[in-house]
Amino acid sequence: LALGSFLNVVAHRVPARRSLVRPRSACGSCGHEIAARDNIPVLSYLLLRGRCRNCSASISLVYPLVEALTAALAVACVAAFGLTAYAALAFGFCAVLVTLSVIDVQHRIVPNRIVLPAAAVVLVAHTAIDPSPEWVLGALGASGFLFAAALAYPKGLGMGDVKLALLLGAMLGASVAVALFVGFLAALVPAVVLFARHGSAARKMAVPLVPFLSLGALVALFFGEALLDRYLSLF
């Protein structure tokens, strides 16, 4: 929960190129510094009923959702992988996905300052934990696939998605195929809704892709090998 609270700070300040340390967190409406008692993850939001104690401005529901989701993913990683180095790596991967998803929804960007170092750290750490060329091949294969798609249809994919694919491939290896399939399939849902509501004008409306690719990555992280094996067993 505490790390989820920090991820909110990262998602808010990195796109604005502000320090993650100073100044202390403050209300976005009145600028009043948030007291420690009002900065307890999830609980403070509930006690304050989603409003600033000083000016009563509404506090975005995104903040407690990020905190709760981060905590849930931490529990899921330990439950699935035990108290292991891989579980720690998996949780770090999940935390980056949560952060990038929030940033993409709010700003439509994938910051290089987060995704590229994360991809490098995950690749090195995963190779150290489980030495195999699969992780670097997964990173290059996934990013190469999306790069080709971005060249073919630059309005549909950005280079940020290509860089995110580096991170996904480094963590998931062959299972990155599951992540991409599930992610693009999930992204069809809002695309169909927009097309149904706005017709041909929907072609000019952007849908943030990172949250959907992140959803696919989570499915692949916890169930990817089983899904891939079951698919390959059909042939």
pLDDT, position 4: 95
- Give residue-wise pLDDT tens across range 15-33: 988 988 888 888 778 888 8
pLDDT, position 124: 97
235 or 97: whose pLDDT is higher? Answer: 97
- Give residue-wise pLDDT tens across range 128-170: 999 999 999 999 999 999 999 888 877 778 889 999 999 999 9
> Are 142 and 134 spatial neighbours (Cβ–Cβ below 8 Å)?
no
Query: Would you give the DSSP letter of residue 60?
Result: P
197 or 48: whose pLDDT is higher? Answer: 48
> Are 228 and 182 spatial neighbours (Cβ–Cβ below 8 Å)?
no
pLDDT, position 180: 95
**31-59 core/surface letters (b: 16 or more CB in 10 A; e: else):** eeebeeebeebbebbeeeeeebebeeeeb
150, burial (CB in 10 Å: exposed 0-12, middle 13-18, buried 19+): middle
pLDDT, position 233: 78
pTM of the complete model: 0.90
